[in-house]
Amino acid sequence: MFVRKMVNDWLSDWLPRMHSARRAILSAVVATSCLYRVVGIAALGRRLANGGSVKHAIKTVDRLMDNRHLHSERTPLYAWLAHFLPGTQTRPLLLLDWSQVHPGREQYVLRVAALKKGRALAIYEEVYRRGRMDKAKTMKTVLANLAQILPAGSVPILVMDAGFRNPWFKAIEKHGWHWVARIRGQVCYQKRLDKDWQACQALHETATAIARRIGDVRLAKTHPHRCTLHLYKSKSTDSKRHRHRAVSRDANVLKAKRRAKEPWVLASSDSLSDLSSQEIVAIYKQRMKIEESFRDTKSHLGWRFEEMRSYLRHKIENLLIVAAVALFTLTVIGRYAESQQMQKDYQANTETKRRVLSVLKLGWNVVRNRFTFRLALMRQALQDMTKVEYA
Protein backbone atom coordinates (compact mmCIF):
# COMPACT_ATOMS: atom_id res chain seq x y z
CA MET A 1 0.00 0.00 0.00
CA PHE A 2 1.33 3.43 -1.01
CA VAL A 3 0.71 5.16 2.35
CA ARG A 4 2.48 2.40 4.28
CA LYS A 5 5.57 2.70 2.06
CA MET A 6 5.50 6.49 2.31
CA VAL A 7 5.29 6.56 6.14
CA ASN A 8 7.97 3.87 6.41
CA ASP A 9 10.19 5.97 4.12
CA TRP A 10 9.66 9.10 6.24
CA LEU A 11 10.29 7.33 9.55
CA SER A 12 13.42 5.57 8.31
CA ASP A 13 14.91 9.01 7.56
CA TRP A 14 13.90 10.60 10.87
CA LEU A 15 14.23 7.59 13.21
CA PRO A 16 16.94 5.36 11.73
CA ARG A 17 17.45 3.66 15.12
CA MET A 18 13.85 2.44 15.35
CA HIS A 19 13.75 -1.34 14.89
CA SER A 20 12.85 -2.08 11.27
CA ALA A 21 10.12 -4.59 12.24
CA ARG A 22 8.50 -2.12 14.64
CA ARG A 23 8.72 0.64 12.05
CA ALA A 24 7.09 -1.61 9.43
CA ILE A 25 4.18 -2.53 11.72
CA LEU A 26 3.74 1.08 12.85
CA SER A 27 3.66 2.21 9.20
CA ALA A 28 1.03 -0.44 8.38
CA VAL A 29 -1.10 0.61 11.37
CA VAL A 30 -0.85 4.31 10.44
CA ALA A 31 -1.80 3.49 6.83
CA THR A 32 -4.83 1.50 8.06
CA SER A 33 -5.84 4.42 10.29
CA CYS A 34 -5.57 6.79 7.30
CA LEU A 35 -7.70 4.59 5.06
CA TYR A 36 -10.47 3.62 7.50
CA ARG A 37 -10.36 6.57 9.94
CA VAL A 38 -10.18 4.41 13.06
CA VAL A 39 -7.75 4.35 15.98
CA GLY A 40 -8.99 1.63 18.39
CA ILE A 41 -6.94 -1.55 18.79
CA ALA A 42 -9.69 -3.96 17.71
CA ALA A 43 -10.90 -1.66 14.91
CA LEU A 44 -7.38 -1.31 13.52
CA GLY A 45 -6.75 -5.05 13.79
CA ARG A 46 -9.94 -6.05 11.97
CA ARG A 47 -9.09 -3.79 9.04
CA LEU A 48 -5.40 -4.66 9.07
CA ALA A 49 -6.27 -8.36 8.65
CA ASN A 50 -7.14 -7.83 4.95
CA GLY A 51 -8.44 -11.37 4.45
CA GLY A 52 -6.05 -13.00 6.93
CA SER A 53 -6.60 -14.00 10.54
CA VAL A 54 -8.49 -11.22 12.31
CA LYS A 55 -7.45 -12.51 15.74
CA HIS A 56 -3.77 -12.48 14.74
CA ALA A 57 -4.04 -8.94 13.33
CA ILE A 58 -5.73 -7.62 16.49
CA LYS A 59 -3.02 -9.20 18.65
CA THR A 60 -0.37 -7.64 16.41
CA VAL A 61 -1.84 -4.17 16.96
CA ASP A 62 -2.27 -4.85 20.69
CA ARG A 63 1.38 -5.89 21.07
CA LEU A 64 2.50 -2.76 19.22
CA MET A 65 0.40 -0.50 21.46
CA ASP A 66 1.76 -2.33 24.52
CA ASN A 67 5.35 -1.92 23.30
CA ARG A 68 7.42 0.10 25.77
CA HIS A 69 10.02 0.87 23.12
CA LEU A 70 7.38 2.55 20.96
CA HIS A 71 6.24 4.50 24.02
CA SER A 72 9.79 5.77 24.60
CA GLU A 73 10.00 6.74 20.91
CA ARG A 74 6.98 9.05 21.17
CA THR A 75 9.21 12.04 21.96
CA PRO A 76 11.26 11.81 18.72
CA LEU A 77 8.05 11.08 16.79
CA TYR A 78 6.41 14.23 18.15
CA ALA A 79 9.66 16.12 17.49
CA TRP A 80 9.34 14.96 13.88
CA LEU A 81 5.82 16.42 13.69
CA ALA A 82 6.95 19.64 15.39
CA HIS A 83 9.78 19.97 12.87
CA PHE A 84 7.27 20.23 10.01
CA LEU A 85 4.25 21.89 11.67
CA PRO A 86 5.56 25.01 13.46
CA GLY A 87 8.39 24.73 10.95
CA THR A 88 10.70 27.72 10.61
CA GLN A 89 8.50 30.10 12.64
CA THR A 90 10.42 31.58 15.57
CA ARG A 91 7.21 32.55 17.41
CA PRO A 92 4.63 29.90 16.45
CA LEU A 93 1.11 29.73 17.88
CA LEU A 94 0.61 26.57 19.93
CA LEU A 95 -2.84 25.66 21.26
CA LEU A 96 -2.97 23.95 24.65
CA ASP A 97 -6.03 22.17 26.08
CA TRP A 98 -7.31 19.22 28.10
CA SER A 99 -9.95 16.74 26.93
CA GLN A 100 -11.50 13.70 28.56
CA VAL A 101 -10.25 10.48 26.98
CA HIS A 102 -13.65 8.81 27.26
CA PRO A 103 -16.94 9.95 28.88
CA GLY A 104 -17.10 8.73 32.46
CA ARG A 105 -13.37 8.11 32.83
CA GLU A 106 -10.92 9.95 35.07
CA GLN A 107 -8.28 10.07 32.32
CA TYR A 108 -7.62 13.28 30.42
CA VAL A 109 -5.32 13.98 27.50
CA LEU A 110 -3.31 17.18 27.36
CA ARG A 111 -2.78 18.18 23.75
CA VAL A 112 -0.46 20.80 22.28
CA ALA A 113 -1.41 21.55 18.68
CA ALA A 114 0.15 23.68 15.94
CA LEU A 115 -1.79 25.43 13.18
CA LYS A 116 -1.29 24.32 9.61
CA LYS A 117 -3.59 25.07 6.67
CA GLY A 118 -6.32 26.28 9.04
CA ARG A 119 -6.18 23.01 10.99
CA ALA A 120 -4.76 22.30 14.44
CA LEU A 121 -2.54 19.21 14.36
CA ALA A 122 -1.11 17.61 17.49
CA ILE A 123 2.61 17.92 18.17
CA TYR A 124 2.51 16.62 21.76
CA GLU A 125 0.02 14.62 23.86
CA GLU A 126 0.13 13.09 27.30
CA VAL A 127 -2.48 11.36 29.47
CA TYR A 128 -3.07 12.15 33.16
CA ARG A 129 -5.70 11.38 35.75
CA ARG A 130 -8.00 14.23 36.72
CA GLY A 131 -6.36 14.77 40.10
CA ARG A 132 -2.94 15.34 38.53
CA MET A 133 -3.93 17.89 35.88
CA ASP A 134 -2.79 20.97 37.83
CA LYS A 135 0.03 19.45 39.85
CA ALA A 136 3.39 21.25 39.72
CA LYS A 137 5.09 18.03 38.62
CA THR A 138 2.66 17.69 35.69
CA MET A 139 3.35 21.25 34.52
CA LYS A 140 7.10 20.78 34.83
CA THR A 141 7.06 17.47 32.93
CA VAL A 142 4.78 18.70 30.15
CA LEU A 143 6.74 21.89 29.48
CA ALA A 144 10.12 20.13 29.72
CA ASN A 145 8.97 17.54 27.16
CA LEU A 146 7.58 20.28 24.92
CA ALA A 147 10.94 22.09 25.07
CA GLN A 148 12.62 18.88 23.87
CA ILE A 149 10.17 18.53 20.98
CA LEU A 150 10.22 22.07 19.59
CA PRO A 151 12.86 23.08 17.02
CA ALA A 152 15.88 24.95 18.39
CA GLY A 153 15.31 28.69 18.69
CA SER A 154 11.52 28.38 18.79
CA VAL A 155 9.83 30.74 21.28
CA PRO A 156 6.12 29.83 21.05
CA ILE A 157 2.97 31.66 22.08
CA LEU A 158 0.86 29.18 24.07
CA VAL A 159 -2.88 29.86 23.76
CA MET A 160 -5.10 28.48 26.53
CA ASP A 161 -8.68 28.61 27.75
CA ALA A 162 -9.94 29.55 31.21
CA GLY A 163 -8.95 26.19 32.73
CA PHE A 164 -5.31 27.29 33.00
CA ARG A 165 -4.28 29.58 35.84
CA ASN A 166 -1.27 31.43 37.28
CA PRO A 167 0.88 28.36 38.11
CA TRP A 168 0.82 27.43 34.40
CA PHE A 169 1.62 31.00 33.35
CA LYS A 170 4.61 31.15 35.69
CA ALA A 171 5.90 27.77 34.52
CA ILE A 172 5.61 28.84 30.87
CA GLU A 173 7.51 32.07 31.49
CA LYS A 174 10.35 30.14 33.15
CA HIS A 175 11.03 28.67 29.70
CA GLY A 176 11.12 32.15 28.18
CA TRP A 177 7.89 31.55 26.24
CA HIS A 178 4.81 33.72 25.72
CA TRP A 179 1.17 32.98 26.57
CA VAL A 180 -2.40 34.20 26.01
CA ALA A 181 -5.32 32.90 28.10
CA ARG A 182 -8.95 33.66 28.85
CA ILE A 183 -9.92 34.63 32.41
CA ARG A 184 -13.33 33.57 33.76
CA GLY A 185 -14.98 33.00 37.11
CA GLN A 186 -14.31 34.80 40.40
CA VAL A 187 -10.80 35.97 39.51
CA CYS A 188 -9.73 39.44 40.65
CA TYR A 189 -7.09 41.81 39.35
CA GLN A 190 -5.19 44.77 40.75
CA LYS A 191 -3.91 47.57 38.55
CA ARG A 192 -0.40 48.74 39.16
CA LEU A 193 -0.24 51.63 41.65
CA ASP A 194 -3.77 50.73 42.88
CA LYS A 195 -4.48 49.24 46.29
CA ASP A 196 -7.95 47.84 45.57
CA TRP A 197 -8.70 44.53 43.89
CA GLN A 198 -11.48 44.38 41.30
CA ALA A 199 -13.43 41.45 39.88
CA CYS A 200 -12.69 40.59 36.26
CA GLN A 201 -16.41 39.94 35.76
CA ALA A 202 -17.10 43.62 36.51
CA LEU A 203 -15.38 44.46 33.23
CA HIS A 204 -18.10 42.72 31.21
CA GLU A 205 -20.44 45.72 31.36
CA THR A 206 -17.95 47.94 29.54
CA ALA A 207 -16.95 45.42 26.85
CA THR A 208 -17.40 46.42 23.20
CA ALA A 209 -16.62 44.93 19.80
CA ILE A 210 -13.46 47.05 19.75
CA ALA A 211 -10.75 45.29 21.73
CA ARG A 212 -9.04 47.48 24.33
CA ARG A 213 -6.21 47.15 26.81
CA ILE A 214 -7.16 47.26 30.50
CA GLY A 215 -3.52 47.65 31.46
CA ASP A 216 -0.71 45.99 33.35
CA VAL A 217 -2.12 44.16 36.37
CA ARG A 218 -1.49 41.65 39.11
CA LEU A 219 -3.84 38.73 38.46
CA ALA A 220 -5.50 36.72 41.29
CA LYS A 221 -5.24 37.49 45.00
CA THR A 222 -3.81 34.05 45.71
CA HIS A 223 -0.34 33.67 44.16
CA PRO A 224 -0.71 36.89 42.08
CA HIS A 225 1.10 37.16 38.77
CA ARG A 226 1.93 40.19 36.64
CA CYS A 227 0.44 40.25 33.15
CA THR A 228 -1.60 42.42 30.77
CA LEU A 229 -5.41 42.35 30.57
CA HIS A 230 -7.50 42.95 27.44
CA LEU A 231 -11.27 43.21 27.01
CA TYR A 232 -13.40 42.28 23.99
CA LYS A 233 -16.98 41.35 23.17
CA SER A 234 -17.74 39.66 19.87
CA LYS A 235 -20.69 40.73 17.80
CA SER A 236 -23.87 38.69 18.22
CA THR A 237 -24.30 35.86 15.71
CA ASP A 238 -27.93 35.25 16.66
CA SER A 239 -29.45 35.83 13.21
CA LYS A 240 -33.18 36.18 12.62
CA ARG A 241 -33.45 32.83 10.84
CA HIS A 242 -32.44 31.01 14.05
CA ARG A 243 -34.68 32.84 16.51
CA HIS A 244 -37.81 30.73 16.02
CA ARG A 245 -36.17 27.37 16.66
CA ALA A 246 -37.06 25.36 19.75
CA VAL A 247 -34.90 26.39 22.72
CA SER A 248 -32.83 23.59 24.21
CA ARG A 249 -33.17 23.04 27.98
CA ASP A 250 -30.12 20.83 28.28
CA ALA A 251 -27.92 22.20 31.08
CA ASN A 252 -24.69 21.74 29.13
CA VAL A 253 -26.13 23.47 26.06
CA LEU A 254 -27.36 26.42 28.13
CA LYS A 255 -24.00 26.66 29.90
CA ALA A 256 -22.17 26.67 26.55
CA LYS A 257 -24.49 29.41 25.23
CA ARG A 258 -23.80 31.61 28.25
CA ARG A 259 -20.08 31.05 27.87
CA ALA A 260 -20.20 31.93 24.16
CA LYS A 261 -22.07 35.20 24.82
CA GLU A 262 -19.82 36.23 27.70
CA PRO A 263 -17.27 38.97 26.88
CA TRP A 264 -13.64 37.93 26.72
CA VAL A 265 -11.28 39.01 29.46
CA LEU A 266 -7.92 37.97 28.04
CA ALA A 267 -4.59 37.92 29.84
CA SER A 268 -1.25 37.93 28.04
CA SER A 269 2.33 37.67 29.21
CA ASP A 270 4.25 40.93 29.60
CA SER A 271 6.62 39.66 26.90
CA LEU A 272 3.81 40.28 24.35
CA SER A 273 3.58 44.00 25.16
CA ASP A 274 4.56 44.75 21.55
CA LEU A 275 1.20 43.37 20.36
CA SER A 276 -2.02 45.40 20.33
CA SER A 277 -5.24 44.22 21.96
CA GLN A 278 -6.66 43.51 18.49
CA GLU A 279 -3.70 41.23 17.78
CA ILE A 280 -4.12 39.44 21.13
CA VAL A 281 -7.82 38.84 20.34
CA ALA A 282 -6.90 37.53 16.87
CA ILE A 283 -4.45 35.11 18.49
CA TYR A 284 -7.03 33.84 20.99
CA LYS A 285 -9.64 33.35 18.25
CA GLN A 286 -7.44 30.55 16.88
CA ARG A 287 -7.99 28.56 20.09
CA MET A 288 -11.26 27.06 18.86
CA LYS A 289 -9.29 25.07 16.30
CA ILE A 290 -7.98 22.75 18.99
CA GLU A 291 -11.61 21.85 19.81
CA GLU A 292 -12.01 20.91 16.14
CA SER A 293 -8.80 18.90 16.46
CA PHE A 294 -10.26 16.91 19.36
CA ARG A 295 -13.40 16.26 17.31
CA ASP A 296 -11.25 15.01 14.42
CA THR A 297 -9.75 12.40 16.74
CA LYS A 298 -12.60 11.51 19.10
CA SER A 299 -15.90 11.86 17.21
CA HIS A 300 -17.60 8.94 15.47
CA LEU A 301 -17.48 11.18 12.39
CA GLY A 302 -13.70 11.34 12.70
CA TRP A 303 -11.21 8.79 14.06
CA ARG A 304 -13.62 7.41 16.72
CA PHE A 305 -11.16 7.59 19.61
CA GLU A 306 -14.11 7.69 22.04
CA GLU A 307 -14.91 4.10 21.03
CA MET A 308 -11.46 2.97 22.18
CA ARG A 309 -11.65 0.66 25.24
CA SER A 310 -8.03 0.65 26.44
CA TYR A 311 -7.43 1.81 30.02
CA LEU A 312 -3.65 1.56 30.30
CA ARG A 313 -1.99 4.96 30.01
CA HIS A 314 0.90 3.85 27.79
CA LYS A 315 -1.48 2.12 25.36
CA ILE A 316 -3.66 5.23 25.10
CA GLU A 317 -0.61 7.41 24.48
CA ASN A 318 0.66 5.03 21.79
CA LEU A 319 -2.75 5.13 20.09
CA LEU A 320 -2.66 8.93 20.22
CA ILE A 321 0.68 9.04 18.39
CA VAL A 322 -0.79 6.74 15.71
CA ALA A 323 -3.72 9.15 15.29
CA ALA A 324 -1.38 12.16 15.21
CA VAL A 325 0.86 10.66 12.52
CA ALA A 326 -2.20 9.53 10.50
CA LEU A 327 -3.77 13.01 10.54
CA PHE A 328 -0.43 14.58 9.62
CA THR A 329 0.03 12.09 6.76
CA LEU A 330 -3.39 12.88 5.31
CA THR A 331 -2.63 16.59 5.59
CA VAL A 332 0.58 16.17 3.57
CA ILE A 333 -1.25 14.10 0.93
CA GLY A 334 -4.16 16.55 0.82
CA ARG A 335 -1.85 19.51 0.47
CA TYR A 336 -0.01 17.88 -2.43
CA ALA A 337 -3.30 16.82 -4.09
CA GLU A 338 -4.56 20.40 -3.83
CA SER A 339 -1.39 21.69 -5.50
CA GLN A 340 -2.20 19.30 -8.38
CA GLN A 341 -5.82 20.60 -8.59
CA MET A 342 -7.18 17.17 -7.64
CA GLN A 343 -9.88 18.68 -5.41
CA LYS A 344 -11.98 19.33 -8.52
CA ASP A 345 -12.54 15.58 -8.89
CA TYR A 346 -14.17 15.35 -5.44
CA GLN A 347 -16.25 18.52 -5.24
CA ALA A 348 -20.01 18.44 -5.72
CA ASN A 349 -19.79 21.84 -7.43
CA THR A 350 -17.43 23.81 -9.68
CA GLU A 351 -16.37 26.38 -7.07
CA THR A 352 -12.81 27.60 -7.70
CA LYS A 353 -12.51 30.79 -5.62
CA ARG A 354 -12.64 29.14 -2.21
CA ARG A 355 -11.77 25.80 -0.68
CA VAL A 356 -14.78 23.46 -0.64
CA LEU A 357 -13.08 20.39 0.85
CA SER A 358 -10.67 20.63 3.75
CA VAL A 359 -7.10 19.49 3.12
CA LEU A 360 -7.70 16.59 5.51
CA LYS A 361 -10.87 15.48 3.72
CA LEU A 362 -9.16 15.74 0.35
CA GLY A 363 -6.23 13.66 1.58
CA TRP A 364 -8.60 10.96 2.84
CA ASN A 365 -10.47 10.85 -0.48
CA VAL A 366 -7.19 10.44 -2.35
CA VAL A 367 -6.13 7.56 -0.06
CA ARG A 368 -9.57 5.94 -0.24
CA ASN A 369 -9.43 5.95 -4.04
CA ARG A 370 -6.02 4.23 -3.96
CA PHE A 371 -4.07 6.96 -5.74
CA THR A 372 -0.30 6.58 -5.62
CA PHE A 373 2.46 9.16 -5.93
CA ARG A 374 6.20 8.84 -6.34
CA LEU A 375 7.98 8.75 -2.97
CA ALA A 376 10.35 11.50 -4.12
CA LEU A 377 7.38 13.82 -4.73
CA MET A 378 5.96 13.08 -1.28
CA ARG A 379 9.34 13.76 0.32
CA GLN A 380 9.24 17.19 -1.30
CA ALA A 381 5.62 17.69 -0.16
CA LEU A 382 6.77 16.85 3.37
CA GLN A 383 9.56 19.44 3.20
CA ASP A 384 7.05 22.04 1.95
CA MET A 385 5.13 21.64 5.22
CA THR A 386 7.78 23.76 6.96
CA LYS A 387 6.56 26.86 5.13
CA VAL A 388 4.77 29.41 7.31
CA GLU A 389 1.02 28.98 6.83
CA TYR A 390 -2.06 29.96 8.78
CA ALA A 391 -4.61 30.00 5.92
- Mean pLDDT across 334-349: 90
**Res 357: pLDDT:** 87
Q: CA neighbours within 13 Å on the CB side: how many for 349?
A: 7
Cα separation, 285 vs 282, whole angstroms: 5
Select from 293, 278, 297, 288 the least CA-distant residue to 159.
288
- Is pLDDT at 368 greater than 80 in this prediction? yes
Cα separation, 75 vs 255, whole angstroms: 37
| Domain positions in the chain | 75-298
Pairing of strands 198-199, 225-232: unpaired
SS3 label, residue 255:
helix
Which is the CATH superfamily of the domain at 75-298? Transposase Inhibitor Protein From Tn5; Chain A, domain 1 (3.90.350.10)
**Res 360: pLDDT:** 87
Select from 27, 1, 2 the least CA-distant residue to 13.
27
**Interval 277-294: pLDDT, tens:** 999 999 999 998 888 888
**Res 351: pLDDT:** 83
- Is pLDDT at 358 greater than 60 in this prediction? yes
Give CA separation, 206 vs 33, 214, 234, 265, in Å.
49, 11, 13, 11
- Is pLDDT at 241 greater than 80 in this prediction? no
**Res 391: pLDDT:** 41
**Res 355: pLDDT:** 84
Q: CA neighbours within 13 Å on the CB side: how many for 131?
A: 0
- Mean pLDDT across 219-233: 95
**Res 278: pLDDT:** 97
Q: Which neighbouring-strand residues pair with 93?
A: 157
- Mean pLDDT across 195-214: 95
**Interval 12-31: pLDDT, tens:** 999 999 999 999 999 999 99
**Interval 100-127: pLDDT, tens:** 888 777 899 999 999 876 778 999 999 9
pLDDT band at 390 (very low <50, low <70, confident <90, very high): very low
- Mean pLDDT across 303-331: 88
Average pLDDT taken over every residue of the chain? 89
